[in-house]
Every structure is written in C-alpha cells, then in structure tokens.
Chain A
Amino acid sequence: MGITRVLDLINETVGRIVAVIAVVFAAIIIYDVIMRYVFNDPTRWAFDVTKQMFGFYFVMLGGYALKHRSHVSVDLVTETLTPGVLRIVEAAGYIIFFFPFAWVFFTRSWEFATRSLAQAETTYGAVQLPVYPLKISMCVAAGLLLIQGVSEFIKILFGYREPAQ
C-alpha cells in the first residue's frame, strides 16, 4: 500500500537519525564529568542540555518503535487465537486504546506547546535555556506516533502485517 509505505518511511527516517543522539548526550555527560574532575571547570549548561536531549530522543522514537513492533505486549491469550480472530482483536486494540490515547497526546500537547511558545518559556536558573522547543517536539512526536498507528492499523485491516519477530 502506498500510504503505509510513506508513513513507514517517515518514521524509519526519523528513527535512524534520532537514534544517534544517545551517543551525543553520553558524550556531553562524560565531557562534563571530565571538565569537573580533571580541569575543575564544570560546564554550566550540560545538565539542562542533556536532560532536554534525552526527552527529545526517546519521545521522537515512539513511532519508530511502533513500526518495528518493539512496544511490548502480552501474548498469553492472543497466541491461542486463529489468524482471522487475531486480526479483529488487534484492530479493536487500536480503536479502543491506541487512537484515543494518541489523539489526546497529539492535540493536548499541541495546546501545551503553543502556550509555552507564546510565553517564550525558559528554565529558571542563572542559565536560561528555552523550554518550548522540547515541548514542541513532544507534539511532533505525538503526531509521528499517531501516523504510525494509522499505518499499522491499515496493515492489520488489509492483512499486510508480518508477524512480530
């Protein structure tokens, strides 16, 4: 299906880029530790910057993980179902649980982010870092999660989904 391929490609691309950030914030943390103990000259920004990078990192990966079916589920009951019934149950799971959550996550974090942007919100110590970019990325991430859910749902409906590895 064209549409699922496009949606999958978006999250695959985001995932492959964002995945690298873990190494970046690891490096910043180590740099800060070294500056503190070897040069006795700690950075003023490392704490807030790594914290924000971490938030950006994991939240942007939600859709990517969904595409790879990495979000854990319990298969105690479902492994006894026939493929036809399983498809109905899986689709129902998306309708009952996933879409209400992802929709609220997306729309409410939109309000959350725009309010922060309007206030030009920053952290409140001597180092004032803007907070709204992280809040905006939470909204974008919720959008990515939502479209990946749409893709998975279509794949379930039309039987295009391979079993999880």
Chain B
Amino acid sequence: QDTWTMTTTWPSSLELIEGDKHFVDLANKLTQGELSIEFFEGGALVPAGEVFGAVESGSIQAGADWPGYWAGRDPAFSPLATTASLFNAVDYVNWILEWGGADIYNEIYGKFGMVYLPYMVTNNESGFRTNEPIRNLDDLQGKRLRLSGLEQGKLLERLGGNQVSMAGGEIYQSLERGVIDGAEFSTPNVDWSGGFQQVTKYWATPGWHQSASIFGVMINKQSWDALSPETQEKLQIAADATLMWSLAFTEKRASEAYKQFDEAVEINRYDDETLAKVQEMANEVIVETACESPSSAKVYLSMLEYLEDYKGWREASAPFNLGRSPNGPDIEAVRACVDG
C-alpha cells in the first residue's frame, strides 16, 4: 500500500479547504488497501506559495491549489484558475469534462512534472467590498483595491483603479486602517468568515474580475505513474464526484452568506452599461495577455472554441439554458497568437 502526503494552499479556517477534505475522504474510501492519503492543512508543511514547488520536487506527493497562484511560472495557469467575465461554473465543468479542458490542465501542469485533477468549482466571486459605494466606473477611479491575478490587475487598471497585491491575512487590517479602499477576496461565505462585513459598508456585485474558479490537486508525475491504472481511475472518480458536489455545495453556502450580508451591508449592482464596458475591456485584456504567451493563448483558444461550439444549442434552449454565451473576445485574434 502506498502512502501519500498531501497539503493545500488553504488554512483550516477558509471554507475552500472543504473541497480538499471532501476529495481526500472519498479517495481514501475508494482506494482502501491500495493508497492512503495523509492530508495536512495549509501552512502545516509548506507556506501556500510553495505548495507547487514541494509537489514539483517530489518532497510531497500531492498538493491542493487554485491554479492562478502559479501564473508567475506560466501565464496559462491564470485562465486554468479563473476568467475575467468569461466562464461560469457550468462552462468550466463542460469544458473540462467534455470539451478537452482536462487534457489542457495536464499539458500545462505536465510541463512541471505533475498531473492535475480539477475537483472543485465555485461560481461567481463576491466582488469588491468598500467603504464608499461603487455603482459604476466613475466610482472606481483612483481606488486602491486589493485584487489578485494578472488579467484581473490589468483589467482593473484599464478601468481606472489600482491593483494592490496583499496576502489574505493582511486584508482585514488594511481595510480597517484605510490602507486600501476596498478588497475582493473570495465567495460570499468565505468573505463572511473573514469578517469583511465588520470593516466595510458596501459590496458591489457581480464579481466581474473572477466569473468562476477552479480548484484541484497537483500530483507528482512519478507518484502518479507508480499507481496501478485501477487506483488512478478511482482517484479520477473521486475528483469527478467532488466536482459535482462542489457546484451545489458552494452555491448553497454562497446563498446563505448573501442573505447574511444583505442585512449587514449595502449591496449595489453595477448597471448594465457598466457591465458591457467591463466586458469590452476584459476582452481586450484577454487578447493582450494571450498574445504575450503562446501557452496562455492555447488555453484561451480552447475555451473560446468551446463557447462558440456550445453557443448554438445554449441559445436555442433559452430560457432553460445553462448560463450565458458571452459577447467574448475576438477568437481569431487569439488564434493568431497561439503560434506566435
């Protein structure tokens, strides 16, 4: 029987760790007698930013993550983690399971000697929490906002705000002390547990910076190859089952937290005109980023091809369809950058 050591980028207080625990429990049940995964919460073995390196070097066999943290190693990790105003949760699930997404994850992580099993999806993130209301682009001008991500930062700067990079643990105090004007962090339930309702008065929805997010586990390739095909399949089954569960679980938790927030802060929705403008800027940023990195372009192209392919049936089945077909970036412009 093999024993794996696995850790995550999340500390125990962040609800995101529930997805990791769900996967580990299920995997351990299914692979009894073949594989035992010993799971350590974030920080116990390595700091969040080092989980990638620890799995890559084989110090530990598996590490749970949000792929966007590794965009400094390859910009393609950014669209593998989230998109600015493009995919929703169902789009990610469709794309990963049936439109070739899973292979792309393994191609990008494979460059670093790892196999990747996506197993958690969250839909739209909360958006900015501030002490002055944000309803449109004018309100965004000159604001110093905590925001993570490469495309996200570029988009915010194009819209007139300033991106501030800051570790999760520092956000609360910085909001309280007014060091930043606002912050996005995660989904409503995770934000609530972070106590942001105590230090901000306003919340602007939707979270256009991160329309949906994917989480999963990185597995060292040598450790993966050492498993029997049956064990590998069982891990895949555990990941797929967790993915389906996470969609319902995280949306339920987000709804509960939304109600709590609604009583604690003022919630404003951007008007349609603003959102159309954001979409236009997001499209530009996506094309620009894709054209700076061929591997990033490859990921975006695959995503855009999915959207195009799915568009006909999705629109025909309206209003009973799953999500929207976005007025997204120019697919030909991205295609031209794939080999560039």
Please say whether the chains A and B touch (CB closer than 8 A): yes
Residues in chain A within 8 A of chain B (CB atoms)? 36, 40, 42, 44, 47-48, 111-112, 115, 119, 121-128, 131
Tell me which residues across on chain B come within 8 A of A126, comparing CB atoms.
150, 152-154, 156-157, 163
Q: Distance (Å) between the CB of A47 and the closest chain B CB? A: 6
Does B19 touch A at the CB level, under 8 Å?
no
Q: Are A128 and B53 in contact (CB under 8 A)?
A: no
Q: Are B57 and A125 in contact (CB under 8 A)?
A: no
Does B74 touch A at the CB level, under 8 Å?
yes
A131-B72 contact, Cβ under 8 Å, with A125-B150, A126-B154, A126-B163: yes
Q: Are B153 and A115 in contact (CB under 8 A)?
A: no
Within 8 A of A (CB), among B20-74: 53, 56-57, 68-74
Tell me which residues across on chain B come within 8 A of A112, comparing CB atoms.
53, 57
Tell me which residues across on chain A come within 8 A of B56, comparing CB atoms.
115
Does B200 touch A at the CB level, under 8 Å?
no
Q: Distance (Å) between the CB of B103 and the closest chain A CB? A: 22
How far, in whole Å, are A47 and B148 apart by their CA atoms in the complex? 14
Q: What mask results when residues 136 to 149 of chain B are scored 1 for a CB within 8 Å of chain A, else 0?
A: 00000010100011
Return the chain A residue nearest B165 by Cβ: A125
Tell me which residues across on chain B come within 8 A of A47, comparing CB atoms.
164-166
Q: Distance (Å) between the CB of B217 and the closest chain A CB? A: 20
Q: Are B57 and A111 in contact (CB under 8 A)?
A: yes
Q: Are B163 and A125 in contact (CB under 8 A)?
A: yes
Return the chain B residue nearest A125 by Cβ: B165
Q: Are B73 and A119 in contact (CB under 8 A)?
A: yes
Q: Distance (Å) between the CB of A43 and the closest chain B CB? A: 10
How far, in whole Å, are A111 and B165 apart by their CA atoms in the complex? 28
Q: Distance (Å) between the CB of B326 and the closest chain A CB? A: 22
Tell me which residues across on chain A come within 8 A of B130, comparing CB atoms.
none
A128-B150 contact, Cβ under 8 Å, with A44-B162, A47-B165, A48-B165: yes
Tell me which residues across on chain A come within 8 A of B163, comparing CB atoms.
44, 125-127
Indicate the size class of the contact surface on chain B.
20 to 34
How far, in whole Å, are A112 and B56 apart by their CA atoms in the complex? 10
Q: Are B150 and A124 in contact (CB under 8 A)?
A: yes
Q: Distance (Å) between the CB of B132 and the closest chain A CB? A: 15
For B53, B69, B72, B150, the residue with the greatest tally of chain A CB atoms inside 10 Å of its CB is B72
Tell me which residues across on chain B come within 8 A of A123, comparing CB atoms.
72, 165
Q: Distance (Å) between the CB of B48 and the closest chain A CB? A: 12
How far, in whole Å, are A162 and B298 apart by their CA atoms in the complex? 64
Tell me which residues across on chain A come within 8 A of B154, comparing CB atoms.
126
Q: What are 26 contact pairs spanning A and B, CB under 8 A?
A: A36-B144, A42-B144, A47-B165, A47-B166, A48-B165, A112-B53, A112-B57, A115-B56, A119-B73, A119-B112, A121-B73, A123-B72, A124-B68, A124-B78, A124-B149, A125-B148, A125-B150, A125-B163, A126-B150, A126-B153, A126-B156, A126-B157, A127-B165, A128-B72, A128-B150, A131-B72
How far, in whole Å, are A119 and B71 apart by their CA atoms in the complex? 11
Q: Are A42 and B150 in contact (CB under 8 A)?
A: no
Q: Are B162 and A124 in contact (CB under 8 A)?
A: no
Within 8 A of A (CB), among B270-304: none
Q: CB < 8 Å: which of B73, B112, B149 contacts A125? A: B149
How far, in whole Å, are A121 and B112 apart by their CA atoms in the complex? 12
Q: Distance (Å) between the CB of B69 and the closest chain A CB? A: 7
A122-B165 contact, Cβ under 8 Å, with A111-B57, A115-B57: no
Tell me which residues across on chain B come within 8 A of A48, comparing CB atoms.
165
Return the chain B residue nearest A47 by Cβ: B165
Return the chain B residue nearest A40 by Cβ: B142
Return the chain B residue nearest A131 by Cβ: B72
How far, in whole Å, are A115 and B59 apart by their CA atoms in the complex? 14
How far, in whole Å, are A154 and B1 apart by their CA atoms in the complex? 48
How far, in whole Å, are A128 and B149 apart by their CA atoms in the complex? 11
Tell me which residues across on chain B come within 8 A of A122, comparing CB atoms.
72
Q: Are B53 and A115 in contact (CB under 8 A)?
A: yes
A42-B70 contact, Cβ under 8 Å, with A112-B53, A126-B153, A128-B150: no
Tell me which residues across on chain B come within 8 A of A127, comparing CB atoms.
153, 163, 165
